[in-house]
Amino acid sequence: MSFNNKVVIVTGSSTGIGAVTAVAFAKEGAKVVIVGRNEANLNDVAKQCSAVGSAPLVIKADVTKDEDAKRIINDTIQKFGQLDVLVNNAGIFEYGDILSGKILETYDRIIAINLRAVIHLTQLAAPHLVKTKGNIVNISSGASLLYGPPATLAYCVSKAALDHFTKGSALELAPSGVRVNAVSPGPVETDMLTRHSVQMNAPIDQVKVFSPLKRVSQSEEIADLVLFVAGNKAKGITGSVYLADNGFTLQ
Ligand code: NDP
């Protein structure tokens, strides 16, 4: 699973799944580009990458801003000369249901990051990925298979649309030798899950009880799957959405 000399962008890599994924790629020899808005967190992750591999390119950027998205791709090419893997991980989770009158504003914020930014970065990255026969891994969610709880509907819709985009972009880019897949976690112990469990008044131990395997995932498990899908062993895999949810969506 070596990524020696491969150039890998991981968006939303200042914390959580993205941070651990960036470090895992660095450990496998990749030249990593880490992206997020929080500079202090990015610098912390940069140190972790440097400790196991080469120093990453740090790009402070908001993926929803079109100029920032262009800068992410342009700075990567300027620094490393190529792009092999794009991991679209940056994402948010917010509440807002129909009857509270909050669903539209929630939807607009969520879609801007979880879907529109992915589409924009895919468009910007594609010409470079065609040159390297590279690939894209989108971080979706098991929520793409759910319809609620009602206040989470906008998030579910964003991830369902992301799965659809994953398959459609895989179909368009396959003749150019570019693969596109998604990894769909269930609950993973990150800041996002902590915020969610506080808001839902459901401690993480309670979330575990609801999962058939009676556990939540750690970011490392998701990173392992991302590296497999992005690597050469998965050369025949495109348009696939891999659940890693401890059986959560079976019930
Ligand atoms: P975190 O909240 O820990 O991390 C989210 C990351 O996204 C941060 O690095 C944040 O960085 C970045 N980010 C958010 N908005 C933007 C933006 N506008 N521009 C650039 N970066 C941004 O969440 P997780 O690690 O848990 O989530 C990562 C992905 O996994 C998300 O797509 C999420 O939907 C998905 N997921 C998570 C699950 C879970 O239980 N944790 C379950 C299923 C899916 P910064 O604040 O520095 O900008």
Domains within the chain, CATH numbers bracketed: 7-189+221-244 (3.40.50.720)
User: CA triplet 65, 162, 94: central angle to 5 degrees?
Assistant: 65
Query: Is residue 39 lining ligand 1, measured as CB closer than 6 Å?
Result: no
| Torsion sign across C-alpha atoms 173, 66, 196, 10 | positive
Q: How far apart are CA 99 and CA 76, in angstroms?
A: 44
Which residue CA neighbors atom 24 of ligand 1 most closely?
A: 16
Choice from 92, 196, 211 to test ligand 1 binding pocket (greatest atom count within 8 A of CB): 92
Is 18's C-beta closer than 6 angstroms to any atom of ligand 1? yes
Nearest to 122 by CA among 14, 234, 9, 227: 9
Where does the chain have alpha helices with state H? 16-27, 39-52, 66-80, 103-111, 117-132, 153-173, 191-199, 204-210, 219-230
Give the contacts of 74 (CB within 8 A, at least 6 positions apart): none
Which atom of ligand 1 lies closest to the CA of 222? 30
Residue 192 CA, ligand 1 centroid: distance in Å = 7
Asked if 8 and 32 touch (Cβ cutoff 8 Å), the reply is yes
**Ligand 1 atom closest to Cα of residue 113:** 18
Measured from the CB, is residue 20 less than 6 Å from ligand 1? Answer: no
Give the three-class secondary structure for 160: helix
Query: For a pocket test of ligand 1, which of 11, 114, 138, 192 has the largest count of ligand atoms closer than 8 A to its C-beta?
Result: 192
Looking from the CA of residue 38, the nearest atom of ligand 1 is 47
List the pLDDT tens digit at each of the 251 positions of the chain: 689 999 999 999 999 999 999 999 999 999 999 999 999 999 999 999 999 999 999 999 999 999 999 999 999 999 999 999 999 999 999 999 999 999 999 999 999 999 999 999 999 999 999 999 999 999 999 999 999 899 999 999 999 999 999 999 999 999 999 999 999 999 999 999 888 888 777 788 888 888 999 999 999 999 999 999 999 999 999 999 999 999 999 98
147 annotated active-site: no
pLDDT at residue number 194: 87
* Burial state string for 123-134 with b = 16 or more CB within 10 A and e = fewer than 16: ebbbebbeeeeb
Q: Is 62 in the pocket of ligand 1 (CB under 6 A)?
A: yes
Per-residue model confidence (pLDDT) at position 247:
97
Pairing of strands 57-60, 7-11: unpaired
Is any ligand 1 atom within 6 A of the Cβ of residue 49? no
Q: Which amino acid, one-letter code, is at 89?
A: N
